[in-house]
Amino acid sequence: MTRHDRKAFKLLINLFQRKRFILKHKGKKYFKNFPLMLALLLSLTAIYGRWIEPYQIEVHHVWIQDEYFGKVFGKKILVQLSDLHINNIGKRERTLLKILKELEPDIIFLTGDYVKWEGDYDEALMFLSRLKAKIGIWGILGDYDYSNSRESCLFCHEANSGRPTKSHRVHFLRNSSELVNLPDGSIQVEGIDIEETESFPPEKSLQFFINKEPAIVLSHNPLSFQLFSKDQNIFMLAGDTHGGQIPLPSWLWRVIGYKKNALYSQGFFEKGHKKMFVSRGIGTSHIPIRLFRKPEVVVLHFLP
């Protein structure tokens, strides 16, 4: 159970105990008003989940023990952003840009879904153009970014041209890798591309990765974690799950067909040498609600 789940559980217990106290001491009068009070509670929860929590962006600092990554990255500020789902540059996006300006990141890693489904790519591209990092920005595309396959080309190329875009500073990786040279060593940054909803690439698409370790691996879908053996020294950054947007047990996620949420809803995962962090992301999909699953900017700290 995560920290957010414990908070939600504690809140529900407190509400239940308070209700028991009222019913015990006030009797039928309050019991008669229970449906009205329940309706009020549900209404307030809906208002909070729709209009308050989705805009409360947390800065989530994550410390990871790894000798090689700790040596190479040192005290550099590494930021992960995921699942922006931008409709327009509004309150949430302006808050995010303000947070990034204060953090002054050395590197930004982007793990997909910059637009709404078949949404406005211009707004997303405008947001990307405002991202800045001292060393560089690397990213991959998510399934929502391919919802309009023609428009998705604009992330990497100029309109009506095969020339690389100059509208932003992001290095997009499509089943490819880049060697990043830093003062204390080099690191591979790998990008796993995904074009179909709820799918992940077959093993043959990872041929570009052979003999390129240690590496930071960017993948929109956390199920890609299963493609790597526990002996591979990788650190994967993923998103896509949104942390579920609301807290549900893993068995229920399985029942409704969301294996990724059942296995890797949010947070840190480790198996052997391979490690992964799954971000709750920034935006929302399907329903515009977050409940005890606040949007987050992830700041990574590697310790040698």
Q: What is the pLDDT of residue 213?
A: 78
Q: What is the pLDDT of residue 33?
A: 77
What's the average model confidence in pLDDT over 255-273?
96
CATH class, 58-303 region: alpha beta
Domain spans of the chain, in order of start: 3-50, 58-303
CA distance linking residue 278 with residue 255, whole number of Å: 21
pLDDT category at 205 given cuts 50, 70, 90 is low
What's the average model confidence in pLDDT over 278-287?
96
18-73 per-position pLDDT tens digit: 555 554 555 555 566 778 888 888 889 999 999 999 999 999 999 999 999 999 99
Q: What is the pLDDT of residue 39?
A: 85
φ, ψ of residue 82 in degrees (nearest 5): -150, 155
User: Is pLDDT of 218 > 90?
Assistant: yes
Q: What is the pLDDT of residue 198?
A: 44
Q: SS3 for 12?
A: helix
Single-letter residue type at 16? F
CA distance linking residue 133 with residue 200, whole number of Å: 29
136-170 per-position pLDDT tens digit: 999 999 999 999 988 999 999 998 888 999 999 99
Instruction: Give the residue with greater pLDDT, 21 vs 112.
Output: 112
User: Is pLDDT of 188 > 80?
Assistant: yes
Q: What is the mean pLDDT of the chain?
A: 88
Instruction: Give the residue with greater pLDDT, 181 vs 195.
Output: 181
Q: What is the pLDDT of residue 8?
A: 55
Under 8 Å CB-to-CB from 11, ≥6 apart: which residues?
none
Strand intervals (E) in 83-231? 107-111, 136-140, 170-172, 176-182, 185-192, 215-219
CA distance linking residue 65 with residue 273, whole number of Å: 11
For 69-109, the DSSP string reads: HHHHHTT--EEEE----BSSS-HHHHHHHHHHHHH--SEEE
User: Is pLDDT of 197 > 50?
Assistant: no
Helix extents (H) in the chain: 3-26, 28-32, 34-47, 67-73, 91-103, 121-129, 149-152, 250-255, 259-264
CA distance linking residue 45 with residue 260, whole number of Å: 26
User: Is pLDDT of 87 > 80?
Assistant: yes
Contact assessment for residue 82 and residue 282, using Cβ atoms and an 8 Å cutoff: yes
Q: What is the pLDDT of residue 7?
A: 61
User: Is pLDDT of 195 > 60?
Assistant: no
User: Is pLDDT of 196 > 50?
Assistant: no
